[in-house]
Structure 1
């Protein structure tokens, strides 16, 4: 679920925190992805096909654009999320949700596929979106790609939505610092706002809409103060409301070490064995996609070398120009060397 109507609130009250991007804008960036969100997208879009196929194609597209993906997997969910997970399992026709964090057979297949693609994998101790946000805060990655808006209250400075590798896709980027500045609230106050809007970890105050919740937080700053200034008849507060526990989850940091990230070349033969011989994907699809991947990367490598060569050539010409200029002005510089030294910028 994420945060109820948070995207709508940002669009209306802080549009300056939103920017629209192209996939090429993320060239050279390290992007953390909530793997469960990615897999759910493929299940919904192509229920008759294995989501591994979609994951294979999308990951190669990221790598072709020189985007460095880092896939983060959910661990054991917080106990406060049990009720939400049970409702989701019921809606999906499942007997019970996974409350232990143990890897399903499909998750194990995803892990194997991503290892063969040569991209880093991180096992979160709890929710993946919390881990993704922490990686941004630590400077390990540049941004989080997820459809789940609760990545923002977890503290991700940059959230990317709709990063689906399509050429014509309108990628939406949210800036948390800009959002807080526009709303004129702190991160802690923003967390309280998100709890009032409705999150996965506790109930919300009934009848309290997004604009009203924002106004109350901007005026009273904390949930405790908001509760003192609302009409309990029209906006009843939930019994045994666990908003403090939810607040601690959003503001806490995962109990883990920042990982070292490495990317390696995809293992084509092992990928063929997994996707074609085990998952029965047509071998020609896999081979053709790998060939396109190699050709695209080679083309981009040649383009970068040409750009570097052009840059060196331009720099050389500029250096020659300044060298001649300095020779012409040598007499003047000698006459006033102390003044020139003061004006000359320090070399780096």
Structure 2
């Protein structure tokens, strides 16, 4: 869910904080990808892609194609997987899993077989992945703050509440100008909020870590935070009959979770060339995906890389062929004075 109606609020109240781009605009960039979002997208979009053993392969195959698409655009993805979620979020995750028919272990840090398969696939693709100690969104945001990556790719808006300066949505968009980039500094400037006030706004809007004040809409929540600055002061200035405060409201715990620095060692991010034979062994021989599909996609991938390298070489050759004179580098402001000085 992320932050309820935050994207609508930004679009209406801070439209200048959103840039509409194309996937090619991120060539050369390192992007942290919220892996659970990608897997859930393919689990929902292609729910009946099973192999002969009845195993649902839609997340695995979707991840294969999506990752190759990123690499073809010279994007360096880092996939971040959820660890053990905080206690406040477990009930939310259980409700979502039950609604979608997906079962997962939310009470421990154990990694499901499907996630292990996805991590094996990424290894053969030569793409690094990270097992977050807690929520993937929080760790993605921390990677941005540590300057390990340039931005976060996720459909959940809560990476902004965790402090990521840049959030990219719909990075897989096929049409031009459908990729949306959200700038946290621009959001804060347009809404005239500090980061701490923004986090309190996100809690009032509704997040995964606590209940919200019922009946309090996005525009009114923004007005209250702009005027009163903190949740503690907001609750003193609302009508509790029309906007009842949740019993034992744990908004302070939610606020602390957004401010916490995720624990865990710094990841070693290394990208390598995909290993086609290992991909065939894993996807075709172990998971029973048709070999012609895997081979065909890898052939297209190699052709794309070869063409891109050729284009770069032609560009470099053209640039080297240009004649450049010294005044193109240094602007001449005045002639040097000639000294006729006798040597004694």
Q: TM-score, normalised by structure 2?
A: 0.92
Q: Which residue of 2 aligns with 1:152?
A: 160
Show the 5 A alignment for 1:1-348.
1-49=1-49, 50=57, 51-94=59-102, 98-164=106-172, 166-168=174-176, 170-314=178-322, 317-319=323-325, 332-335=335-338
Single out whichever of 122-131 and 160-169 deviates more from structure 2: 160-169
Does the CA-based 8 Å contact 2:155-2:170 persist in structure 1? yes
Shift of 1:258: 2.4
In structure 2, do the counterparts of structure 1 residues 304 and 225 end up closer, same or farther at CA, with 3 Å as the change threshold?
same
In structure 2, do the counterparts of structure 1 residues 297 and 96 end up closer, same or farther at CA, with 3 Å as the change threshold?
closer
In structure 2, do the counterparts of structure 1 residues 103 and 154 end up closer, same or farther at CA, with 3 Å as the change threshold?
same
- SS of 2:321's partner is helix
Shift of 1:320: 5.7
Q: C-alpha separation between the residues in 2 aligned to 1:105 and 1:84?
A: 22
Does the CA-based 8 Å contact 2:21-2:176 persist in structure 1? no
In structure 2, do the counterparts of structure 1 residues 169 and 334 end up closer, same or farther at CA, with 3 Å as the change threshold?
closer
How big is each residue's C-alpha offset from its partner over 1:190-227, in whole Å with a ceiling of 9 and x where there is no partner? 00000000000000011100000000000000000001
In structure 2, do the counterparts of structure 1 residues 169 and 266 end up closer, same or farther at CA, with 3 Å as the change threshold?
farther
Shift of 1:280: 1.7
- SS of 1:119's partner is coil
Q: C-alpha separation between the residues in 1 aligned to 2:68 and 2:104?
A: 34
- SS of 1:179's partner is helix
In structure 2, do the counterparts of structure 1 residues 211 and 322 end up closer, same or farther at CA, with 3 Å as the change threshold?
closer
Consecutive aligned runs of 4 or more in structure 1 exceeding 4 Å deviation: 94-97, 320-323
- SS of 2:267's partner is coil
How big is each residue's C-alpha offset from its partner over 1:270-291, in whole Å with a ceiling of 9 and x where there is no partner? 1001111122211111111111
Does the CA-based 8 Å contact 1:86-1:97 persist in structure 2? no
In structure 2, do the counterparts of structure 1 residues 150 and 103 end up closer, same or farther at CA, with 3 Å as the change threshold?
same
Does the CA-based 8 Å contact 2:137-2:158 persist in structure 1? yes
Does the CA-based 8 Å contact 1:34-1:71 persist in structure 2? yes
In structure 2, do the counterparts of structure 1 residues 101 and 267 end up closer, same or farther at CA, with 3 Å as the change threshold?
same
Shift of 1:165: 5.5
Does the CA-based 8 Å contact 1:205-1:237 persist in structure 2? yes
Single out whichever of 202-211 and 159-168 deviates more from structure 2: 159-168
Q: C-alpha separation between the residues in 1 aligned to 2:10 and 2:270?
A: 35
Q: C-alpha separation between the residues in 2 aligned to 1:92 and 1:45?
A: 12
In structure 2, do the counterparts of structure 1 residues 38 and 152 end up closer, same or farther at CA, with 3 Å as the change threshold?
same
User: RMSD value over aligned CA atoms?
Assistant: 2.0
- Structure 1 unpaired stretches of 5+: 337-348
- SS of 1:152's partner is helix
Shift of 1:88: 1.1
- SS of 1:233's partner is coil
- Structure 2 unpaired stretches of 5+: 50-56, 340-344
Shift of 1:109: 0.3
Does the CA-based 8 Å contact 1:90-1:96 persist in structure 2? no
In structure 2, do the counterparts of structure 1 residues 179 and 322 end up closer, same or farther at CA, with 3 Å as the change threshold?
closer
